[in-house]
Amino acid sequence: MTIERSERLLERAARTIPGGVNSPVRAFGAVGGTPRFIERGAGARIFDVDGNGYVDLIGSWGPMILGHAHPEVVEAIARALRDGTSFGAPTLAEVELAEKIVEMVPSVDMVRLLSSGTEATMTAARLARGHTGRDRILKFEGCYHGHGDTFLIKAGSGSLTFGVPSSPGVPAPLAELTLTARYNDLDGVRELFDRHREEIAAVIVEPVAGNMGTVPPRPGFLQGLRELTASHGALLIFDEVMTGFRVAPGGAQELYGIDPDLTTLGKIVGGGMPLAALGGRREILEDLSPVGPVYQAGTLSGNPLATAAGNATLDVIRREGAGLYEKLEERGSRLERGLRDAMPDGSSLSINRVGSMLTLFFASGPIEHLASLEGVDTAAYGKFFNAMLDEGVYFPPSQYEALFLSAAHTDDDVDHIAGAARRVLARL
């Protein structure tokens, strides 16, 4: 496989863009090798500037649930484009998208449209703080909520319950307001609530974690969070940027039957364009400006091209209904079976999957929180990843990520991935 053009482009890009990429994981730092510069996508495939094709398993990190360049989405964007790209004034398409979100996502009465998942979680934290009059946010180790200062926090060591910055540039006094608990560990959450009575504004959680690899909630975990937050007067925020419209039409809250107070959405809701949403109960959302005092704004919020892509994507999802999710579940379980069959005897690999989100861990399971990944063999994952690229399959370039199947992946694609994995794992 020739990757000369990608190599040359990376050198050129690195002269003007830090690391040559606009989001760190694209640099392949965790797996080694040269990032491929992508020229185009079609259905389940992407093609790089050297003309190599790959079965794409990242789908832009989740948005492309219908596959790349879906004709209805392309047509909707083209139609919107001819009428102008941004007005900074309200449009019909925003109202239509908001109505669809409210109809599909069970706990959401109202939404504010924004431009990225980071903006959605950042606004959720501010709104939760403004609504409750409390400052602390409780999050889980291994969950990612975008790069807002409130979330770039790791647990303090020893007896410290306060968080410390996980990136230079995050002020320590702000980090102290973020508490960190172990995913799937309700006792830890209970302890933090006991220690910080009436200080916690909200608990934010990925209801299916995707940012430490796929980690499903244990039975009762989300229900426990619902009860604990309600009894302590704190809000429950489901960060469904990844799971929204992915694990069910109404996201993880529909799948598990739990109603959070606030929900953040991104990725699929924008159909591959920069669009996100913060939704929730009416009396909380009405605290946002201009109705309420909590400030939030955006020049490009509800952008016409982004709402066109989002509306078209949700229209297809609604039209295909349960059948779409049955198909994604079938493909997901076929891939899981194929990968399990491909594992050499005695290997310490494990798989977590929820519908079309899946992670092949180079660690023995069960993987239930970040600490289960202490012994993970990231070097072996890097070798696997690069060998799969050579086989024409684009896995996530990090062990700590989920892969995503789309409606465009066929049984043949899935069998091709499993066949390639068998060859690669046999010689690792």
- Annotated active-site positions, please? 144, 239, 267
Q: How far apart (Å, rounded) are the C-alpha atoms in residues 315 and 215?
A: 29
Distance of alpha carbon 27 from alpha carbon 208, whole angstroms: 26
Nearest-5° Cα angle at 264, 373 to 356: 55
CA atoms within 13 A on the CB side of 386: 16
Q: Rg of the chain's alpha carbons, rounded to an integer? A: 21
- Give the x-and-dash track for 167-206 against ligand PLP (CB under 6 A): ---------------------------------------x
Q: How far apart are CA 173 and CA 341, in angstroms?
A: 50
Residue list 261-320, contact with ligand PLP (CB under 6 A)? 266, 276
Q: Is 61 in the site for ligand PLP (CB under 6 A)?
A: yes
Residue 401, interface with ligand PLP (CB under 6 A)?
no
Burial 347-367 (b: 16+ CB within 10 A, else e): eebbbbbbbbbbbbbbbeeeb
117 makes contact with ligand PLP (CB under 6 A): yes
Residue 82: count other Cβ atoms within 10 Å of its Cβ: 7
Q: Applying CB under 6 A, what is the total number of residues that bind ligand PLP?
A: 16
Least separation in angstroms between residue 142's CB and ligand PLP is 11
Q: Round to whole Å and give the CA distance between 268 and 353.
A: 19
Q: Which CB sits closer to ligand PLP, 252 or 424?
A: 252
Smallest distance, Å, CB 276 to ligand PLP? Answer: 6
The CB-of-243 to ligand PLP minimum distance in angstroms stands at 8
The span from the first CA to the last CA of the chain, in angstroms, equals: 19
Q: Quick one: which segment of 95-103, 138-146, 287-295, 355-363 binds ligand PLP (CB under 6 A)? A: 138-146
Q: Please, which residue, 48 or 401, has the CB nearer to ligand PLP?
A: 401
Sheet holding 357-361, edge to edge: 350-354, 357-361, 403-404
Least CB distance to ligand PLP at residue 299 (A): 17
Kindly state the tokens that stand for 325. Answer: 């999710």
Q: Using CB atoms within 10 A of its CB, is residue 422 exposed (0-12), middle (13-18) or buried (19+)?
A: middle
Of positions 179, 241, 354, 414, contacts ligand PLP by CB under 6 A: 241
Q: Is 118 in the site for ligand PLP (CB under 6 A)?
A: yes
The least CB distance from residue 251 to ligand PLP, in Å, is 11
For β-strands 200-205 and 136-140, DSSP reports them as parallel
Shortest separation between residue 146's beta carbon and ligand PLP, angstroms: 3
Under rule CB under 6 A, residue 239 binds ligand PLP: yes
Element at 87 (helix H, strand E):
none
| Residue with smallest beta-carbon separation from ligand PLP | 117
Choose, by CB under 6 A, the member of 121, 132, 307, 406 that binds ligand PLP: 121
**Residue 226 makes contact with ligand PLP by CB under 6 A:** no
Counting Cβ atoms within 10 Å, is residue 219 exposed (0-12), middle (13-18) or buried (19+)?
Answer: exposed
- 123 neighbors 298 (Cβ within 8 angstroms): no
In the chain, how many H helices and how many E strands?
A: 12, 16
The answer to the question of residue 6 lying near ligand PLP (CB under 6 A) is no
**Footprint on residues 250-269 left by ligand PLP (CB under 6 A):** 266
Only one of the segments 4-12, 14-22, 140-148, 371-379 lies at the binding site for ligand PLP (rule: CB under 6 A); that segment is: 140-148
Decide: helix, strand or coil at residue 156. coil
Q: Scanning residues 371 to 400, which ones bind ligand PLP (CB under 6 A)?
A: none
Contact letters for ligand PLP, residues 335-374 (x by CB under 6 A):
----------------------------------------
Does position 145 bind ligand PLP by CB under 6 A?
yes
Neighbours of 342 (CB within 10 A): 20
From the CB of 252, what's the least distance to ligand PLP, in Å?
A: 11
Choices 42-50, 113-121, 129-137, 188-196; region in contact with ligand PLP by CB under 6 A: 113-121
Residues lying near ligand PLP in the complex (CB under 6 A) are found at 61, 116-118, 121, 144-146, 206, 210-211, 239, 241-242, 266, 276
